[in-house]
Chain A
Amino acid sequence: MSGPLHIGFIPLVDAAALIIAVDKGFTAAEGLEVNLVREVSWSNVRDKLNIGLFEAAHLLAPVAIASSLGVGHVKVPIVAPFNLGINGNAITVSPALHAAIMAELDGDRFDPMATARALARVVAARRKSGADPLTFAMTFPFSTHNYQLRFWMAAGGVDPDEDVRLVVLPPPFMVESLKSGHVDGFCVGAPWNSIAVDHGVGHILHFVADILVHAAEKVLAIRQGWAEKNPEVVARLTRAAIRAAEFIEEPGNRAETARMLARPERIGVDAEVIQRTLDGRLKISPDGTIRGNSRYLLVGREGAGRPDPVQAAWLYSQMARWAQTEVSEEALKIAMAVFRSDLYDAALGTSGASTSATNRPFDAFDGPEFDPRDIAGYLASFKIFRQPI
């Protein structure tokens, strides 16, 4: 290994551990020279990682899994020694849709089952009146946003493929599309939900923590072949990310973190907007209503950085639920092996048994308890799903 590492990222707050690792000198302290490359699309990040222009990348966890399985694109095995973020997404809807859901709401407005059922009634009323189906945007076919949005609405009886339109939109286009009425709602990461609220064009309906208590979001992705040839570099990079996450989670460092992330060549939005996400105190309505949730985005806290194969299994189950792939034991094994808690432990010189955060149960507001040993049984309990073609 010689020369700087090239690491791709998308300007989102959950790239924080990677950006701070480099900009605050944690990678340099590990003897690594890193060239962070800001990208415009997940497709670019994936392709540049695949063909070796990047040694590592900030990547959607489901893309790392899909790439390892060869689903939807070229098969390139990926390993994730570090989880860059837990949670961090939100569902934002237009003022009109928000009002419609609130009018139909029977229960607590932060209860995703109550809002999903209200959405089902809104959808039914629109159909009856001959109105166009609602359009929701998410960031990528293989994205947590896609699965979270589907999981939520399907729980209330809304079929995401039949009852609404679900479209891919790059995050920077979300706010404008909501404003112009091309979409009625979206699921995206920070800072885009806050920006929609600040522009007065959206209401944050749910934090993903309402829907899934603890959901893997982005990973530090490395090509498996390269990782095997450069174990020492992987350990150093992982360690730098772990240290950066610890730094970010120290409340006294939040303001500095937000300022560093706000730089134009990094995320390029106001530091104040970024800090809301890190603090878990978000303005959810244009009228200024604040909602706090300490689990809005976890960067390293509660064992967030340590990859948990159960999370990979759940994401794989969602790929199967929506017919992006079929359930197979073999594929499940490959998916789970993407999340390398062993590499995380090796970087710290600890063994898995000594860390407290081992395989916590997957906790969601709908469905039975998730058991990675019985994906088919888990999926069979959901009424709405796609038949594989």
Chain B
Amino acid sequence: MTAEQPPPKAEQAPKIVIVDESPIRAAILEEGLREAGYASVVRISEMHSLLARIYALDPDIIVIDLENPSRDILEQMFQVSRAVRRPIAMFVDQSDAASIQASVDAGVSAYIVDGLKKERIKSILDLCVFRFNAFAKLQDELDRTKMALEERKVIDRAKGILMKLKGLTEEEAYVLMRSTAMREKKKIGEIAQSILTASELLK
């Protein structure tokens, strides 16, 4: 008997390619993978000749976001072709419905070259799902902050109009809008917006 075979190279340091047109999300994902000890991570954000670049990199795992139409290009890797050296499977396991559901919900998909240990793939995919969800949450918070800022601006402008037209102080203008909002069961932002609209119309 010969000595025990060393694990295949992919088991030691699987090469991971991230295909994502969002550079921030890709960076968040890459950071997570590196923190988890996966040193070999390459990001692709340019979709031109995607397949050729992937073949040249020869990754063990490809992670792609679901908003990316180029996902269909990756499907070509399943096809019989001289360009493909190793078989590729999708997701962790075709029978693992929960993993598939979680990744589709998170908006990420993974293509995995055969030969990697299942647990290893699962932990990488879980990490991707976690980071994608974290990014979505960040994005959501950012959107809400932006909206709040917008609303702030609208309220300030409406206040200015009231102050000018009715000779109110800033405090009084705000109280007037707030009480109107409460009476009409609307948000103060909506009241402010209608003041702006009305003042546009009456100009």
Contacts and interface: CB of A to CB of B under 8 A. Distances in A.
A308 B71 CA distance: 30
A41 B47 CA distance: 14
Contact of A72 (B66, B68, B78, B97): B78
Contacts of A40: 66-69, 71
Contacts of A140: 72, 75
Interface stretch (A47-55, A330-338, A342-350, A352-360): A47-55
A173 B80 contact: no
Interface in B33-87: 47-49, 51, 66-76, 78-81
Interface of B: 47-49, 51, 66-76, 78-81, 90, 94, 97, 100-101, 104, 109
A141 B79 contact: yes
Contacts of A47: 100, 104, 109
Contact of A43 (B75, B80, B94, B97): B75
Nearest to B81: A161
A23 B174 CA distance: 43
Interface string A171-198: 0110000000010000000000000000
Contacts of B109: 43, 47
Contact of A141 (B78, B101, B104): B78
B81 to A, nearest CB: 8
Contact of A44 (B49, B66, B78, B81): B66
A73 interface: yes
A170 interface: yes
Nearest to A45: B72
B49 A139 contact: no
A53 B78 contact: no
Nearest to B67: A40
Given A41-B71, A47-B100, A51-B104, A74 B66 contact: no
Contacts of B100: 47, 50-51, 74
A169 B101 CA distance: 26
Given A40-B67, A170-B72, 20 more contacts: A40-B68, A40-B71, A43-B71, A43-B109, A44-B66, A47-B104, A47-B109, A48-B104, A50-B100, A51-B97, A51-B101, A72-B75, A141-B79, A167-B76, A168-B72, A169-B72, A169-B73, A173-B69, A182-B49, A324-B79
Interface of A: 40-44, 47-48, 50-51, 53, 72-75, 139-141, 161, 167-170, 172-173, 182, 323-324, 386, 389
Nearest to A137: B73
9 contacts: A40-B69, A43-B72, A44-B66, A44-B71, A72-B75, A74-B100, A139-B72, A169-B72, A170-B70
A41 B76 contact: no
Contacts of B73: 167-170
B80 A386 contact: yes
Contacts of A173: 47, 69-70
Contacts, number: 71
Contacts of B104: 47-48, 51, 53
A167 B51 contact: yes
Contacts of A53: 104
Select the residue from A75, A173, A386 with max chain B CB neighbours within 10 A. A173
Nearest to A323: B80
B182 to A, nearest CB: 34
Select the residue from B49, B69, B80, B81 with max chain A CB neighbours within 10 A. B69
Given A47-B100, A47-B104, A324 B72 contact: no
Nearest to A40: B69
Nearest to A53: B104
Nearest to B101: A51
A168 B97 contact: no
B80 A74 contact: no
Contacts of A182: 48-49
Nearest to A50: B100
Contacts of B72: 41-43, 139-140, 168-170
Contacts of A172: 69
A115 B47 CA distance: 32
